[in-house]
């Protein structure tokens, strides 16, 4: 049974106070932001590949009715090939790894909030514990997205979940906001049957890997979700402009030896993200 959780402040070393202004004086670009909010949806309605019975008209249509084994993310016998495209805005798109179910990795839109972190497990994998019900996203918004998946030498997987520009144009992703999911936060805080609680030397990080139009790696950026007993519990800015102009960004998760086992990470390989800002030339 989990102990009562004491929320920690975000890591000071990764929290920044950069402006989100879309039109900073002297800049040659403006920012367009992927918010996952229905009011900001500019894409035309579409259906999943081979599933004309499922129509996506706004972002909330991409939220499964349950967090695990739902029709959208886990229909193994009649897969949806779940994916989204922020058409008419940032042009960013996602996809489930290898076209399979969400357990194989991918990016799922969510609005789930969970305040009670006792007895939490994979059944609550799309929840965050920051904010409140109906306003769990960055800046109190409704929706956000959850990344699941990693690749290392021990795991059987060889493909990472990624964001890519659907139109194939290389652009600079300026930043996004990230936080731990409730499941990952609870595991790092209190441990579970598979993983000990984070200790003084523990760490868990996101690794963003950019690829240019030629398919070559353009750079890497990292964000610590956990450093020792300091565990990120609030939406925090993750700077990505150092990746330069990219057509695709893959996201991996890595952790310290105590958070790993014979077959790879024992801590849940999830993080939540929101408000992905992309640079576009000023008109």
Judge whether 72 and 25 are in contact, CB under 8 Å: no
Report which of 34, 46, 38 is spatially closest to residue 89, judged by C-alpha positions.
Answer: 34
pLDDT of residue 179: 98
pLDDT of residue 23: 53
The alpha-carbon radius of gyration of the chain (Å, integer) is 18
Tell me the pLDDT of the chain (283 aa) as tens digits.
Answer: 333 343 333 333 333 333 444 555 568 999 999 999 999 999 999 998 878 899 999 999 999 999 999 999 998 888 899 999 999 999 999 999 987 899 999 999 999 999 999 989 999 999 999 999 999 999 999 999 999 999 998 777 789 999 999 999 999 999 999 999 999 999 999 998 889 999 999 999 999 999 999 999 999 999 999 999 999 999 999 999 999 999 999 999 999 999 998 888 999 999 999 999 999 999 8
**How far apart, in whole angstroms, are the C-alpha atoms of residue 248 and residue 170?**
8
For residue 162 the two structure tokens come to: 């990624």
Judge whether 34 and 42 are in contact, CB under 8 Å: no
The pTM of the full predicted model, rounded to 2 decimals, is: 0.90
CA 157 to chain centroid? 18
pLDDT of residue 7: 37
Strand (E) or helix (H) holding 72 = helix 71-74
- DSSP three-state, residue 99: helix
Judge whether 41 and 58 are in contact, CB under 8 Å: yes
The pairing of strands 51-56 and 127-128 is unpaired
Q: What is the DSSP string of 177-223?
A: EEE--HHHHHHHHH--SSSPPP-TT-EEEEEEEEE-TTS-EEEEEEE
Q: Which residues contact 280 (CB under 8 A, 6 or more apart)?
A: 29, 30, 31, 32, 171
Report which of 163, 17, 25 is spatially closest to residue 90, judged by C-alpha positions.
Answer: 163
**How far apart, in whole angstroms, are the C-alpha atoms of residue 225 and residue 130?**
14
pLDDT of residue 12: 36
């Amino acid at each position: 049974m989990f102990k009562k959780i004491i929320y920690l402040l975000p890591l000071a070393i990764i929290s920044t106070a950069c402006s989100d202004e879309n039109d900073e004086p002297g800049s040659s670009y403006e920012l367009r932001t992927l918010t996952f909010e229905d009011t900001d949806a500019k894409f035309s309605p579409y259906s999943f590949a081979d599933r004309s019975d499922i129509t996506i008209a706004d972002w909330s249509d991409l939220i499964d009715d349950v967090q695990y084994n739902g029709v959208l993310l886990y229909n193994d016998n009649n897969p949806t090939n779940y994916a989204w495209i922020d058409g008419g805005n940032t042009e960013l798109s996602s996809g489930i790894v290898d076209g399979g179910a969400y357990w194989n990795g991918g990016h799922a839109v969510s609005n789930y909030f969970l305040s009670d972190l006792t007895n939490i497990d994979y059944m609550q994998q799309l929840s965050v514990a920051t904010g409140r019900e109906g306003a769990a996203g960055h800046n109190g918004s409704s929706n956000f997205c959850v990344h699941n998946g990693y690749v290392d030498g021990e795991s059987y997987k060889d493909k990472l979940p990624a964001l890519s520009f659907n139109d194939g144009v290389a652009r600079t992703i300026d930043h996004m906001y990230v936080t731990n999911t409730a499941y990952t936060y609870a595991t790092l805080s209190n441990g579970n049957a598979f993983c000990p609680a984070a200790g003084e030397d523990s760490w868990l990080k996101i690794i963003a890997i950019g690829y240019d139009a030629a398919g070559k790696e353009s750079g890497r950026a990292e964000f610590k979700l956990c450093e020792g007993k300091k565990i990120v519990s609030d939406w925090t800015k993750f700077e990505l402009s150092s990746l330069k102009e990219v057509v695709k960004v893959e996201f991996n998760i890595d952790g310290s030896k105590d958070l790993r086992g014979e077959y790879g990470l024992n801590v849940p390989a999830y993080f939540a993200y929101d408000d992905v800002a992309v640079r576009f030339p000023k008109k």
